[in-house]
Amino acid sequence: MVHSHRRARVAIAALLAGAAASTAATAAARTTPPTAPSTAGTATAGTAVGSATAYADPMTNFVPDQGAKPVDCKPKDGPLKAAWVYIGPINDGGWTQAHDVGRQEVQAALGDQVVTTYKENVPEGPQVAQVLEDLIKDGNTLIFGTSFGFQDAFIDVAAKHPNVCFDFATGYKTAANVGQFYGRGEDTDYLTGMAAGAATKAGKVGYVAPFPIPEVIRGINSYALGVQATHPGATLQVVWTNTWFDPAKERAAAESLIAAGVDVVASGQDSPASGEAAKAKGLPWTGYDSDQSANFPDIWLTATNYHWGAYETARAKAVLDGTWVPGNYYGGIADGFARLAPFGKLVSADTQAKILAKQAELSAKPGSHLTGPIKDQSGKERVPAGQQISFEDLMSMNYFVEGVIGEIPSS
Amino acid sequence: MSTADPAQAVAAGGEPTEHPGSPPAAAVRMSGIVKRFPGVVANDGVDFAAALGEVHALLGENGAGKSTLSNILTGLYRPDEGRIELDGRAVHFDSPRDALAAGIGMVHQHFRLVPTFTVAENVALADPHGIGRRQVRHLRQELAAMGAHYGLAVDPDARVWQLSVGEQQRVELLKALHRGARVLILDEPTAVLTPQEADALFVTLRAMVAEGRTVVFISHKLHEVKAVSDRVTVLRHGRTVGTVDTASCTTTDLARLMVGRDVVFRRAERAHPVDPAAAPLMRVRGVSAVNHRGQPAVRQAGFELRPGEILGVAGVAGNGQRELAEAITGMRRPTAGSIEVGGSPVRLGSVRAAHAAGIAHVPEDRLHTGLAPSLSIASNVVLTAYRRPPASRGPFLDRGYIRRHATELMSRFDVRAPGPDTPVRLLSGGNVQKVLLGREFASDPKVLVAASPTRGLDVGAIETVRRLLVQAADEGRGVLLISEDLEEILALSDRVLVLYEGRIVGDVPAADATAERLGLLMGGGAVSRDVG
Amino acid sequence: MRSPLRFERRLRQPKWLSLAVPAGSLLAALVLGAVVLLVTGRNPLSTYHRILERAFASQSSLSGTLISATPLAFTGLCAAVAFRMGIINIGGEGQLFGGAILASWAGIALGDQPVWIVLVAMLAAGAVGGMTVALIAGVLRARFGANEIITTLMLNYIVAIFLDYLIFNSKSYWREPKSFGFPKGKQVGPAAFWSPITIGHTAIPRGFIVAVLAGVVVSVLYRTTRFGFEVAVIADSPGTARYAGMRTTRKIIAVMALSGALAGLGGASDVGDFRHVLDAKGLQLAGYGYTGIVVAALARLNPLGTVLVAVLIGGLTNAGYALQGPDFPSGLVGALQGLILFTAVAGEVLVRYRVRRAVPAPVSAAAAGPPTPPVRAGA
């Protein structure tokens, strides 16, 4: 059975870390942002728009837990054994594949100092603890979790094994030997929205969205603001699928949006199925979480992509150095965590230049696209003029901004 | 060649105005046909010949070999021995396709039509060369012409599922005519028709033979055979009894031929004669019932059964026997009527009530209704008794008692099996029936309803089963013996009821019951006079 | 086209076969697996050693195996109980969800009551929940003849959507109000955590003990009671059941209720033993209901055998996770698991059928084969 269903991506961690994370993020902004423009359509898959310019050290976006002590999870002898636990298959073309690319980067960066392994297709549920115990029995002392539903099992098992370090993506609970990591997809979502806004003629973009949770909502809002930046007055119509991965459902949702008159389709899902619906009608499409430029060359605009390897390499190094501490990581554009996928040929040079300029700005000032005045759907002002949304409000966002058509069910 | 006006023939009450003395060339000749199936010889040297331009009836009881013979003629079976000639030339059919190509068409009892297709599409489907879209228009014209010519009017664009059964039969006939069938075989064609539809069919058949086709008409209904056919070939036990000119025979003659005059009945010895003055054990009054399609199957049946009496119920299959047995044993709720056993009314439509009243049932289809074939003998002998002690205590079965009981019954009824745990499906037919009879006798019934209790059994087993039935009667029980086997009815019964189209058309004491008389009644021979 | 080999149903199933065939199947699976492993450049012996060790040999791995086995034992029993009467209930999935919904309600509502009261209440609620879902299909089948394959399958989807509704699209009693916006279930109270029973180093989930007891009860019910007798007769011959005056309609409803209740207990165990919340997505991803059908089929619908097969499959699942990694693709793990299940089923066929070389039919010049004569030719 293939579980390509993904984790819940809740960076509540950062909420708990509060202002500290904001500070760290701002600190990161001081490093050199990537700015070199690329030629449309020529960038190779997996390469971020911008360039391979050196990114900031991810640890600048890491906030240690207060009073946290280093955990000794260094092996007695031999290389460090590190393991990744995935919910999907490593070739899902999305979430899990991106994580496995991260694992391979760790292996490549640290060479024979580390032996990496993984367990794929692990369902959220009672088996997770058993899989973790197995990994620990095999001598793994650094374990990465990549699905929200694994969180409780990680916390439970971590308590029994104080000399094993756990790093968890997209959760919110930390412990003496459990850290959390994730980052600012909303910044690149804004840039993706700019490409969509430039592409829509009717001023109507449709968004296929997974779950009505803050992480997704802030992505949709950012996307909508991006659309309006390049096409003032355009609307973003949202349909919920209540799944991370269900090609049939995603496609049906996209078709319903197209039937409602949108002429650009956006995906917040793990599968490219909504792209199939757009392709059938020849409509421009933005993806999510994977670079689909090769599969949809005629309709591809761009997408938000995540890069986990740099942070994970830093954490493995920390174990080897004996300096691993629990804490929260919230990456961004500056340290190369959130990157824009290569532009498709539908994105004009002019639009690319606009987007890259904005990318440089967001790299320097993460989250600054969410600066007031921002009104919600009812016209009520949510962020006052001139003020950037607070980190707490960003993490618990539960309203749609003006111009979004759709509703958030009982949040 | 018959030149008879078919309409006139029918109007004349089944007496053809003219018939050929000695038909010239045989359109179909089958000689020395032998067909064996495992354990059964279905055709044992059958000779049959039908001439050009005649309606030739094939008459016989169920299992006489009519269907096997027609299946051989249509290429479905290959004969083990024998020879088939068409127009004097030997033919050899390897498949139904060969027979169709040779001009033999068949209208089965169960139609071979695609319900969701139109009439024209169904006919096109049967076309040997295949019919394209453009030719369908021609086909519709052809169908209209044929319909007018033969009295087979059907809307070519109607979907088959919308048609009545009679209309569907016309589609089958049109199919055969479209393929150019020169020999048409109709298997019990009137079984599904109303009398008016049947009359219309006869007109059509006469029209077809009038232009030189040959019709083989399979039936066991005497008056129909008399009404429509020129000649009759009678089969019995897989052999040809003879071929006669219809006009030269009465229905009584045909009945005698069909049932067999040379059968020597050996009356079973009985310990006590039935006391005609005794109070009836069971009284059935005005019982009517419908079959599984909701059509009337038993009409106003009424009779009384006395202690120690074996009451035979004769009839051709499908005349309401099954429904009557089920109505009495509670498996089918009658639409009208009442049943009393020992003077008290029995709640109708309840197996448990019938059982509690002392009615035991030996069903016709033993292995599907009566026994659970995959379960052990032990389980099967308590199929009705498991609810009460000693077979069960509270919610639990007493497995020990059940095995002992089964072992005892096995020795009492001479069931040959490795042990009480043997699944019933592994037993021979006779042993299966002994398990069933043993169980029903063990319940000490007042009335035993036995449907075709010896069907499919070998001679030894038949003797045993008959002996048990006689023994049951000698013990003072009433036995209702429902059978299509006249010989069995005559050998065992004290009195015989005859069912025809769900009605009891005869109530004949054993002394007066002859095969001829019963055969006539079974074929509905008495109905035209009595009921009209 | 005719195969040169024919399968014939065995009239008797020799006793020795029922022992020899499973053993032979296992051996065949190991040999075939070894070939696959050798071809792909792996050591079969060390691989098998690891499977054994990680599934059953060590006490802590046995704990993990029982965790995987528990839900499968319940859904397996659910399928076995219904299939034994010829009712094809493939709704174990939705019935387990139904049980989880009511059991988590009980767990949340009574979470501060004494442990035993909560345990019993959750089990009862779970059984009722599963039963309710199953009875919808049961009544439709019994009263209107609706095909239970279709209705139970449809109900799986319907209950799944209802689960989504409870957790994702409503402010239901089951939804955690303080989950930082992410829709998830409310955790049950502390007394509703079923602590496992530890023997040595092996932790036995309470649900597993319930499953074993349920297996025993079902076994006794089907082997020794009037009810079980009626089920056997109805399964073998509905016509005969009618002839014997058995109330088939009621029995269908009763068996569906029992079947659904067993799956519902599995839902209660999922909440009490393992997840402690109503996990809408996790339950749907697990596919317990469908795997349970495989478990029941492999156990030849024997209730105690079902529990045993659940443990074997649970062990195989866990060993599968232990095996896979960068040098052991999960596809290969799946192939090994598939081989073992395949040979088990093939062995099952050998118990029931014997293989014969087909006797060539008398060949005629015609291309068409002879039509098969009907068994009951007009005699």
A18 touches chain C (CB under 8 A): no
In chain A, whose CA is at the least distance from the CA of C290? A1
Is the pLDDT at B215 greater than 60? The verdict is: yes
Counting beta carbons within 10 angstroms of the beta carbon of residue A160, is it exposed (0 to 12), middle (13 to 18) or buried (19 or more)? exposed
Would A202 be classed as within a structural domain? yes
- Could you tell me if C242 lies within 8 Å of chain B, comparing CB atoms? yes
User: Is the pLDDT confidence value at C262 over 90?
Assistant: yes
- Provide mean pLDDT across the span B186-195: 77
CA-to-CA dists, residue A283 to A223, A262, A287, A352, angstroms:
18, 9, 13, 19
Bigger pLDDT: A226 or A20?
Answer: A226
Residue B333 vs residues B244, B341, B350, B354, C346: alpha-carbon distances, Å: 44, 17, 8, 11, 47
Q: Is A104 on the interface with C (CB under 8 A)?
A: no
| Averaged pLDDT, B418-432 | 84
C-alpha–C-alpha distance, residues C49 and C30, integer Å: 12
Q: H/E/C letters for each residue in B90-120? A: EECCCCHHHHHHCCEEEECCCCCCCCCCEHH
A157 and A297 in one domain? no
Instruction: Mark residue B434 as left, alpha or beta (left: phi above 0; alpha: psi -120 to 50; beta: remaining).
Output: alpha
Q: Is chain B in touch with chain A: ≥3 Cβ pairs within 8 A? A: no
* Burial group, residue B66, by CB count within 10 angstroms (0-12, 13-18, 19+): buried
| Residue in B38, B370, B379 nearest the CB of C243 | B370
CA distance C82 to chain A (A): 25
Q: Is B317 on the interface with C (CB under 8 A)?
A: no
Q: For A54-77, what is each residue's pLDDT tens digit?
A: 788 888 889 898 888 999 999 888
* DSSP of B46-102: EEEEEETT-EEEEE--TTSSHHHHHHHHTTSS--SEEEEEETTEEE--SSHHHHHHT
Partner residue opposite C233 with nearest CB, options B42, B77, B383: B383
Nearest to A319 by CA among A141, A172, A144: A141
For the ranges A174-183, C334-343, C352-361, the lowest mean pLDDT is seen at C352-361
pLDDT higher than threshold 50 for residue B363:
yes
Percent of chain B with pLDDT over 70: 89
Helix or strand (DSSP H, E) at B359? strand B359-362
Give chain A positions within 8 Å (CB) of C68: 126-127, 130
Which tokens belong to A186?
């909303």
| Straight-line distance from the first to the last Cα atom of chain C, in angstroms, rounded to the nearest whole number | 31
Mean predicted confidence (pLDDT) in A160-175: 92
Residue A44 resides in a domain: no
Q: Is the pLDDT confidence value at C2 over 50?
A: no
Q: Which of A297, A321, A337 is the last residue of a domain?
A: A337
- What pLDDT score was predicted for residue B139? 85
Q: Is the distance from CB of A283 to CB of A264 less than 8 angstroms?
A: yes
What domains, with CATH codes, occur in chain B? 1-13+24-103+182-189+197-258 (3.40.50.300), 110-181 (no CATH), 266-358+445-532 (3.40.50.300), 370-443 (no CATH)
**What pLDDT, on a 0 to 100 scale, did the predictor assign at position C12?**
56
Q: At what angle do helices B135-150 and B165-178 cross, to 10 degrees?
A: 110
Domain contains A248: yes
Domain end position, chosen among A295, A319, A337: A337
Higher-confidence residue of A193 and A96: namely A193
Q: Are residues A229 and A377 in the same domain?
A: yes
pLDDT higher than threshold 50 for residue B97: yes
pLDDT (0 to 100) of residue C354: 62
Give mean pLDDT, residues C167-193.
84
Most confident of A83-92, A304-313, B293-302, C356-365: A304-313
Residue B107 has pLDDT above 80, yes or no: yes
> What domain range includes position C159?
69-321
By mean pLDDT, which of A119-133, B1-15, B374-388 is the weakest?
Answer: B1-15
* pLDDT score at B512: 85
For the purposes of burial, counting CB atoms within 10 Å of the CB of C100, is it exposed (0-12), middle (13-18) or buried (19 or more)?
buried
Judged by CB atoms closer than 8 Å, whether chains meet at A409 and C168 is answered as: yes
Q: Which of B399-413, C222-236, C324-338 is the least confident region?
A: C324-338
Quick check: is A4 in a domain? no
Of C314, C249, C236, which Cα lies nearest the Cα of C73?
Answer: C314
Beta strands in C180-323, from DSSP E residues, in sequence order: 197-199, 202-204
In C, minimum Cα distance to A135 occurs at C322
Residues A206 and A78 in one domain: no
Are the Cβ atoms of C321 and A172 closer than 8 angstroms? no
| Predicted pLDDT at B251 | 79
H-state helical runs in A260-348:
273-281, 309-321
* Highest-pLDDT range among A41-55, B52-66, B489-503: B489-503
Confidence of residue A340 (pLDDT cuts 50, 70, 90): very high
Residue C23 domain flag: no
Does residue C26 lie within any of the structural domains? no
Selecting from A10, A89, A134 the residue whose C-beta is nearest the C-beta of C182 gives A10
| pLDDT at residue C241, as a whole number | 93
Task: Report the distance separating Cα B55 and Cα B328, nearest Å.
Answer: 41
* Residue C106 domain-assigned (yes or no): yes
Helix, strand, coil distribution of chain C in percent, nearest 5: 70, 5, 25
pLDDT of residue B528: 44
Q: How many structural domains are present in chain C?
A: 1
Q: Tell which of A319, A337, A355 closes a domain.
A: A337
| Average pLDDT value over all residues in chain B | 83
Chain A adjacent subunits, 3+ CB pairs under 8 A: C
Same domain, A215 and A270: yes
Is B399 in Cβ contact with C226 (below 8 Å)?
A: no
ipTM: 0.78
**Residues in chain B within 8 Å Cβ distance of C374:** 37
Mean pLDDT score, C174-182 = 76
CB atoms within 10 A of CB B137: 11
What pLDDT is recorded for position C338?
A: 84
Q: Is residue A243 a contact partner of residue A5, using CB atoms and an 8 Å limit? A: yes
Using the predicted structure, report yes or no on whether residue C240 has a pLDDT greater than 50: yes
Neighbour order of strands in the sheet with A178-183: A62-64, A327-331, A178-183, A165-169, A142-145, A80-85, A114-119
Mean pLDDT along residues C83-102:
96
C46 touching chain B per CB within 8 A: no
Q: What is the pLDDT of residue A6?
A: 42
Picking from B294, B346, B303, B345, the residue whose alpha carbon sits closest to that of residue B323 is B294
Residues A298 and A356 in one domain: yes
Quick: pLDDT tens for A215-240: 899 999 999 999 999 999 999 999 99
Verify that A218 and A270 share a domain, yes or no: yes
**pLDDT greater than 70 at residue B264:** no
* pLDDT band (50, 70, 90) for residue C358: very low
- Give yes or no for residue C52 having a pLDDT over 50: yes
Task: Check residue B16 and give its pLDDT.
Answer: 36
The answer to whether C87 and C231 have CB atoms below 8 angstroms apart is: no
Closest by CA to B74, choosing from B103, B99, B57, is B99
Contact C244 B40 (CB under 8 A): no
Q: Both A165 and A196 in a single domain?
A: no
If asked whether residues A91 and A111 sit together in one domain, one would say yes
Domain that holds residue A283: 185-305+339-405
SS3 of residue B7 by DSSP: helix
Q: Does C362 have pLDDT greater than 70? A: no
Q: Does B34 touch chain C (CB under 8 A)?
A: no
C-beta separation of B229 from B247 below 8 A = no
Number of domains chain A contains: 2
Residue C354 falls inside a structural domain: no
| Higher per-residue pLDDT: B29 or C365 | B29
- Is A48 a member of any domain? no
Does residue C22 have a cis peptide bond before it, meaning omega lies within 30 degrees of 0?
no
pLDDT at A39: 39
What sections of C84-114 are H helices per DSSP?
A: 92-109
Q: Do A166 and A232 reside in the same domain of the chain? A: no
- Separation CA A315–CA A372 (nearest Å): 36
pLDDT above 50: residue A408: yes
Over residues B310-324, mean pLDDT: 88
Q: How far is A148 from chain C (nearest CA, A)?
A: 10
Residue C53 lies inside a defined structural domain of this protein? no
Q: Phi and psi (nearest 5°) for A164?
A: -120, 135
Residue A380: predicted pLDDT:
93
Poorest-confidence range of A169-178, B56-65, C316-325, C341-350? C341-350
* pLDDT over threshold 50, residue A372: yes
- Per DSSP, the three-state class of A372 is strand
Q: Which value, to the nearest 10 degrees, does the dihedral of the CA atoms of residues A122, A125, A127, A131 take?
A: 50
Average pLDDT rounded to a whole number, residues B475-482? 93
Check residue C298 and give its pLDDT.
84
B21-41: pLDDT as tens digits? 444 568 899 999 998 876 567
Whether residue B390 is preceded by a cis peptide bond, meaning omega within 30 degrees of 0, is yes
Rounded CA-CA distance C205/C187 in Å is 19
The reply to whether C374 falls in a domain is no
> For residues B94 and C261, what is the distance between their CA atoms, to the nearest angstrom?
57
- The pLDDT confidence band at residue A142, using thresholds 50, 70 and 90, is very high
- pLDDT confidence of residue C364: 38
* Touch between chain B and chain C: 3 or more Cβ pairs under 8 Å: yes
Q: Are C149 and C79 in contact (CB under 8 A)?
A: no
Considering only the beta carbons, identify the residue of C226, C241, C370 that sits closest to B395.
C226
**How many residue pairs from chains B and C have C-beta atoms closer than 8 A?**
103
**Would you list the DSSP string of C160-213?**
HHHHHHHHHSS--TTB-TTSTT---BPPPPGGGS-PPEEETTEEEPHHHHHHHH
- Among the ranges given (A6-20, B230-244, B367-381, C40-54), the one the predictor scored with the smallest mean pLDDT: A6-20
Residue C52 lies in a domain: no
Residues B378-383: what's their mean pLDDT?
Answer: 93
Q: What is the pLDDT of residue C216?
A: 97
CATH number at residue A112: 3.40.50.2300
For the residues A356-381, what does the mean pLDDT come to? 92
CB contacts, 8 Å: B387 with chain C: 226
pLDDT-derived band of residue C258, with 50, 70 and 90 as boundaries?
A: very high
Residue A20 has pLDDT above 50, yes or no: no
Q: Is residue A243 over pLDDT 90? A: no
Average pLDDT, chain A: 85
Are A367 and A383 in contact by the 8 Å Cβ rule? The answer is no
pLDDT band at B10 (very low <50, low <70, confident <90, very high): very low
Mean pLDDT, to the nearest integer, of B418-443? 87
Cα(B401)–Cα(C64) distance, integer angstroms: 46
pLDDT of residue B267: 63
> For position B94, what pLDDT does the model report?
84
- Would you state the pLDDT for residue B19? 42
The confidence score (pLDDT) of residue C3 equals 46
What does the pLDDT read at residue C132? Answer: 97
Average of per-residue pLDDT across A313-332: 94
pLDDT digits (tens, 9 = 90+) for C264-282: 999 999 999 999 999 988 8
Q: Which of A34-48, A329-343, B436-450, C225-239 has the lowest mean pLDDT?
A: A34-48
- The string of pLDDT tens digits covering residues B415-424 is 888 889 988 8
How large is the average pLDDT for residues B406-427? 88
Neighbouring CB atoms inside 10 A of B364's CB total 21
**Other CB atoms within 10 A of residue B195 CB:** 8
Centre a 10 Å sphere on the Cβ of residue C23 and count the other Cβ atoms it contains.
10
- What is the reported pLDDT for C215? 97
Where b means 16+ CB within 10 Å and e means fewer, B162-181 reads ebeebbbbbbbbbbbbbbeb
| C104 class by beta-carbon count within 10 Å (0-12 exposed, 13-18 middle, 19+ buried) | buried
Same domain, yes or no, for A145 and A198? no
pLDDT for B492 beyond 50: yes
CA angle C295, C301, C302 (to 5 degrees): 105
Among residues A281, A272, A216, which one has the least CA distance to residue A242? Answer: A216
Answer yes or no: pTM beyond 0.90.
Answer: no
Q: What is the mean pLDDT of residues A138-149?
A: 92
